[in-house]
Amino acid sequence: MTTLPKRIGSSIRKIRLSQRRTQEDVAGCAGFTKSLLSKIESGKVTPPVATLIGIASALGTTLSTLVEEKNHRGVVTGTAEEVKQGLSLTEQGYWIYPFASRHQGKKMQPMFIVANRGEVKEHHFKHEGEEFIYLLEGALWVEVGQERHRLAAGGSIYFESHEPHQIIPITKIVKYLNIFL
């Protein structure tokens, strides 16, 4: 089984090369350096979701296309063990698992995210689309634009992703479902 960083990197490289584009071109369109794109393509780093959305936009594709494993349509199931084994640490200090990565052509990308207080680097993302977060465990702050919202387990928030946003764990560990559209 290929690791998430290697699968994402391979997918990005394959799409970029099919478009006959350079790393420098795609990185420039996505708003970061060629060096970072090279690390992502080689599977050395797992970028934050917002960076993946920027790459997808620069390539004219979707986040789901970048994290998909193979061509599959219809029902895709998963197990708790797959989630546990498939978590990947991002550069920003949180762990991600993309659900339904075997399903091709999704309109949304659900992710399971785990963040530990003090380990998530301060960062504000903004990208195209919408997000929905449902907090499964713990408590966190969600900053969207100039607003700050406190979520506890069972709480949720929906917002447009073009607003700068970030999450800040309040409790030692937070686990949440984040759906990107």
Query: Where does 80-180 sit in CATH, by number?
Result: 2.60.120.10
- Kindly list the domain boundaries of the chain, sorted by start residue: 4-67, 80-180
Q: What pTM, to 2 d.p., does this model score?
A: 0.76
Q: What is the mean pLDDT of the chain?
A: 90
pLDDT tens, position by position, 52-98: 999 998 998 888 888 877 666 678 888 999 899 889 898 889 999 98
Asked if residue 1 has pLDDT above 70, the reply is: no
| 18-22, 106-110, 139-143: which is most confident | 139-143
Same fold, 4-67 and 80-180: no
In sequence order, what are the residues at sequence separation of 6 or more whose Cβ sits closer than 8 angstroms to the Cβ of residue 118?
A: 169
In tens, the pLDDT along 63-74 reads 888 887 766 667
DSSP letter assigned to residue 125? B
Architecture of domain 4-67: Orthogonal Bundle (1.10)
pLDDT, tens digit, 9 for 90 and up, residues 21-40: 999 999 999 988 999 999 99
**Residues 17, 21, 24, 27: is their CA dihedral positive or negative?**
negative
Question: Can you tell me the mean pLDDT for 37-47?
Answer: 93
Residue 55 contacts residue 26 (beta carbons within 8 Å) = yes
Distance between terminal CA atoms of the chain?
27
pLDDT of 10 reads 92
